[in-house]
A and B are shown apart, each in its own frame.
Chain A
Amino acid sequence: MLTKRIIPCLDVKDNRVVKGVHFLNLRDAGDPVELGARYSDEGADELVFLDITATIRYRKTLVELVEKVAENVFIPFTVGGGIQTVEQIDELLRSGAEKVSVNTAAVDNPGILTEAAQRFGSQCVVLAIDARRPKEKTGRWQVCVKAGTEPTDIDVVEWAVKAEKLGAGEILLTSMDTDGTKAGYDNELNKAVSDAVNIPVIASGGAGKLEHLYDAIIDGGADAVLMASITHFGNYTIKQMKEYLRDRGIAVNL
């Protein structure tokens, strides 16, 4: 049986790891390669590196970052940020990333998911969705693009279902409403998406306490939980998170 995964997320801006609240008010959290190596050594299951400087366009510096990370990190890692073409995905996979995440590019051109899945296998293709509850209460979520700056009319659950058909192998689902708040994941959102698709869903946005991780897996149906603030700023170690989950009966790699 596969274990549930603990995935620290490193948002990288100008070669530093940063973390904000609701995607704003960024705070410095260290060097990406050093921090990545530390999490790899401490027993994280995977890492996600998102270049948040890039969101509008792909930058060559991302390749350099991936190469350095690959020399120091011995667990699988995903990279994302401003990726627009299959050639860029190829370059990042060759540089040492296991998976590449796309967000805005897939909304603009959903065919990129199919093209990438056919060429590299769907296990390499992660669809990142930044989800937001609209102001009027509709019980639905809207997809936002360009690092959360642009809301669209696309419904999150419908988009996730479509993306799976197109070739996405995994969904990295971030709630912009809970991001950085440490108030818990949006498990209504996680549940709505994980019930609708067969591929793994990574819950993201809002981890503050250990029980939030448990809730995202049990109530939200998540296969993996992603966190940033609570690991970067030393609230909990990877080991503490895994021991907590194990003690509550969840299979983890410990």
Chain B
Amino acid sequence: MIVVIDYNVGNVKSVCNAFCHIGCEVELSRESAVIEDAAGLVLPGVAAFGYAVSALGDLAELIKEVARAGKPLLGICVGYQMLFDQSSEYGRHKGLGLVEGSVVPIPPGRVIPHMGWNLVKLPEGMDLFSGLGEEKHFYFAHSFYADVTDGQSKIAYADYGFNMPVSIQKANIYGTQFHPEKSGRTGLKVLKNFAEICERKD
């Protein structure tokens, strides 16, 4: 069972809809017992970073604990940004600190928010992208991005006038700045890959 963490931000339903569509058992929950029992966790997020972190509240400690114990964790959009140490969106906020790096504004000189379909270069060895080839388009909607400094992370990039990190993998921790649940068939394949990672671990 994949558990999508329910912490009252944005539209978390669409992530559940996408997992249902590809035939995965999925539950939306914030119960500790359910989270501890999950085969894998998804941390979605459509909100400002500070708001999302405070909405997560006590769940933050639990997520860190189970992630450090090896449970597969997938962060999406702001859920992905929260994996990092900190963000400078509307003030300074601490993240979960599971991956080293900071969430910073997309540099000026281009249209912000970065919204629409952009091409992501898919490096070999990133499990979320297996079977997808060398590059694929994904749907983005964000104004901040994670400047990844973690030496242990594999990183995928997109070109937005600079080389922007948009996805990471560090052991059992996965994250995408883009929305796989809104990226058509390619995005569904990414979710399917995550579900398979969870099954293998379970």
Give residues in A with beta carbon < 8 Å to B: 1-3, 5, 40-41, 43-45, 70-72, 74-76, 93-94, 96, 98, 121, 123, 198, 200, 253-254
Residues A123 and B115 in contact, CB atoms below 8 Å apart? yes
Determine the residue in chain A with the shortest Cβ distance to B22.
Answer: A74
> Can you show 10 pairs from A to B with CB atoms below 8 A apart?
A1-B118, A1-B161, A2-B160, A3-B118, A40-B184, A74-B187, A75-B184, A76-B182, A96-B17, A123-B115
Question: How far apart sit A23 and B111, CA to CA, in the bound complex (Å)?
Answer: 34
- Determine the chain B residues whose CB is within 8 A of the CB of A70 once the complex forms: 13-14, 17
Residues A253 and B18 in contact, CB atoms below 8 Å apart? no
Question: How far apart sit A98 and B114, CA to CA, in the bound complex (Å)?
Answer: 15
Contact of B184 among A5, A74, A94, A121 (CB under 8 A): A74
Residues B183 and A71 in contact, CB atoms below 8 Å apart? no
Question: How far apart sit A41 and B183, CA to CA, in the bound complex (Å)?
Answer: 10
Closest approach, in angstroms, between the C-beta of B80 and any C-beta of chain A? 17
Q: A43-B185, A96-B17 are in contact. List 9 more A-B contacts (CB 8 A).
A: A2-B114, A2-B160, A3-B119, A3-B137, A5-B117, A70-B14, A74-B21, A75-B139, A96-B13
Residues A123 and B141 in contact, CB atoms below 8 Å apart? yes
Q: Is the interface of A mostly helix, strand, loop or mixed?
A: loop
> 9 tightest CB-CB pairs across the interface, nearest first?
A253-B137, A2-B116, A253-B117, A3-B117, A71-B17, A75-B184, A76-B182, A123-B115, A123-B113
Residues A2 and B183 in contact, CB atoms below 8 Å apart? no
- Determine the chain B residues whose CB is within 8 A of the CB of A72 once the complex forms: 21
